[in-house]
Amino acid sequence: MKPLKATVNCDMGEGFSLYTMGDDEGLMKTIHLANIAFLLSDFSVMNKTVALAKSNNVLAGAHPSLPDLQGFGRREMAIEPDELESCFIYQVGALDGFLKRYGLPMNHIKPHGSIYGQTARSIDLARAVVGVTKVFKASAASPQGVAFMGLAGTAHQQAAAELGVPFIAEWFADLGYNDEGKLLITKKHDPVPIEVVQNLLQQHKVTTVGGKLLDIGANVGEVSICCHSDTPGAVQIAQAVKALVDESNQEAGYV
pLDDT digits (tens, 9 = 90+) for 160-200: 999 999 999 999 888 888 888 888 876 667 777 888 989 99
CB 68 within 8 A of CB 112: no
CB 45 within 8 A of CB 67: no
CA torsion through residues 85, 158, 141, 56, sign: positive
Give the pTM: 0.91
CB 229 within 8 A of CB 37: no
Q: Using CA atoms, how far apart are residues 95 and 98, in angstroms rounded to an integer?
A: 5
In percent, how much of the chain has pLDDT > 90? 55
Q: Using CA atoms, how far apart are residues 89 and 183, in angstroms rounded to an integer?
A: 25
Average pLDDT over residues 144-156: 92
Is the pLDDT assigned to residue 2 strictly greater than 70? yes
CA torsion through residues 234, 26, 114, 156, sign: negative
- What's the Cα-to-Cα distance from 171 to each of 9, 150, 226, rounded to whole Å? 10, 8, 6
Per DSSP bridges, beta strands 147-150 and 5-12 are unpaired
pLDDT digits (tens, 9 = 90+) for 72-116: 667 888 999 999 999 999 999 999 999 999 999 999 999 998 899
DSSP element (H, E) containing 34: strand 33-37
Question: Cα 76 vs. chain centroid, distance in angstroms?
Answer: 18
Give the pLDDT of residue 85.
97
Question: Cα 217 vs. chain centroid, distance in angstroms?
Answer: 17
Is the pLDDT assigned to residue 140 strictly greater than 60? no
Q: Using CA atoms, how far apart are residues 221 and 252, in angstroms rounded to an integer?
A: 12
Q: Using CA atoms, how far apart are residues 23 and 205, in angstroms rounded to an integer?
A: 30
Average pLDDT over residues 118-143: 87
List Cβ neighbours of 151 (8 Å cut-off, separation of 6 or more). 116, 120, 157, 169, 170, 183
Pick among 3.30.40.10, 1.20.1560.10, 3.20.20.370, 3.40.50.620: CATH of 5-252? 3.20.20.370
Binned at pLDDT 50, 70 and 90, residue 69 comes out as confident
Average pLDDT over residues 144-158: 93
Binned at pLDDT 50, 70 and 90, residue 24 comes out as confident
- Mean pLDDT (the chain, rounded): 89
Q: Using CA atoms, how far apart are residues 228 and 234, in angstroms rounded to an integer?
A: 7
Give the pLDDT of residue 84.
97
DSSP code, position 109: E
Binned at pLDDT 50, 70 and 90, residue 17 comes out as low
Higher pLDDT, 68 or 243: 243
pLDDT digits (tens, 9 = 90+) for 201-235: 998 999 998 889 998 877 888 899 998 887 888 89
